Amino acid sequence: MIALLAPGQGSQAPGMLAPWLSAKGAEATLDGWSDATGLDLTRLGTTATAEQIKDTSVTQPLIVATTLLAFGQLADRVQLPAGAPIAGHSVGELAAAAVAGVLSPTDTVALAAVRGREMAAACASEPTGMSAVLGGRPEQVLERLDELGLDPANRNGAGQVVAAGPTAALEQLAAEPPERARVVPLAVAGAFHTRFMAPAEQALSGYADDLSPHDPTRPLLSNADGQVVERGDELLRRLVAQVTRPVRWDLCMATLRELGVTAVIELPPAGALVGLVKRELKGVATLALRGPEDIDGVAELMAEHAAGAAA
């Protein structure tokens, strides 16, 4: 079984949309999404600098737009299995919702823009941040975070927990890390997926009330608990609540294992999630879809795993 993965914030890179704009209709699609968000996504995804796209209010809709534009071209060229599950990390879960048919691509990119804008505003109220804690014993890492009043905002598996909370507490964590762990500060605007994002959750809830979700057309894994969500209204509720709750990517990967997934394809901007899969799900084949030239590789990977399943 092959699964699809949609990346989250931090995966962005200058020019990441450029390879996908040569396809017929791509520019018109992006123009429509730009109108829906009030952002010039074409410029931001082609000629803008790394500094210009690191703002949360820009990064989130730009990542979702990149993922969905690439998925559309992948689906046009390759017959993807209808039962292939999909999981998205953090804002990537919005893109996953669109791939699974819960929301239209335009509604999804617009929702990502509201999410990014409101999370950026919430970050301005108090100095907070995030740091990756790499290694160490999981129980000791979590105990240390609790001592400092920090939240495990992302539990990514593969020996990686992302701590979030007040800047002073993160500095203390870096000065006195858990045993056999190292702490790497992340270049983000604030403590995402924690109580500090409560104003953003409230604003997002009001916006989501006007959306009309559909039930997923393929298995869609939730960041909340790694389980498959079968109702569109429940998934939308979880997407709103997600901004103040931890991302349990470790549980998503556990579910991929339970489902018998043998290969994963990470949609653009790809790279981070296949790295986690390689470390956590030994023996699962991975493919990072970085540009249209990689689509032939997707077809080959699917053929290989279809043959393996038949055998």
Q: Are 238 and 222 in contact (CB under 8 A)?
A: yes
DSSP code of 88? E
125 is catalytic: no
237: its two tokens: 């509720």
CA distances from 245 to 7, 45, 151, 240, 276 (A): 18, 29, 9, 10, 21
214 is catalytic: no
Q: Are 287 and 298 in contact (CB under 8 A)?
A: yes
Catalytic residue chosen out of the listed positions 193, 212, 222, 305: 193
Query: In this structure, what are the phi and psi dihedrals at residue 221, rounded to the nearest 5 degrees?
Result: -90, 140
Buried b (16+ CB within 10 A) or exposed e, 106-135: bbbbbbbbbbbbbbbbbbeeeebbbbbbbe
Catalytic residue chosen out of the listed positions 57, 90, 131, 222: 90
Q: How far apart are CA 2 and CA 279, in angstroms?
A: 18
DSSP code of 177? P
Q: How far apart are CA 261 and CA 11, in angstroms?
A: 23
Q: Are 145 and 153 in contact (CB under 8 A)?
A: no
Say how far residue 7 (Cα) sits from the centre of its chain: 4
| Max CA pair span of the chain | 58
CA distances from 173 to 39, 43, 245 (A): 37, 38, 21
Say how far residue 276 (Cα) sits from the centre of its chain: 13
153: its two tokens: 């905002």
Three-class secondary structure of residue 82 per DSSP: coil
* Nearest partner of 87 among 256, 231, 234, 211, judged by Cα: 256
Q: Are 195 and 214 in contact (CB under 8 A)?
A: no
Catalytic residue numbers read: 90, 193
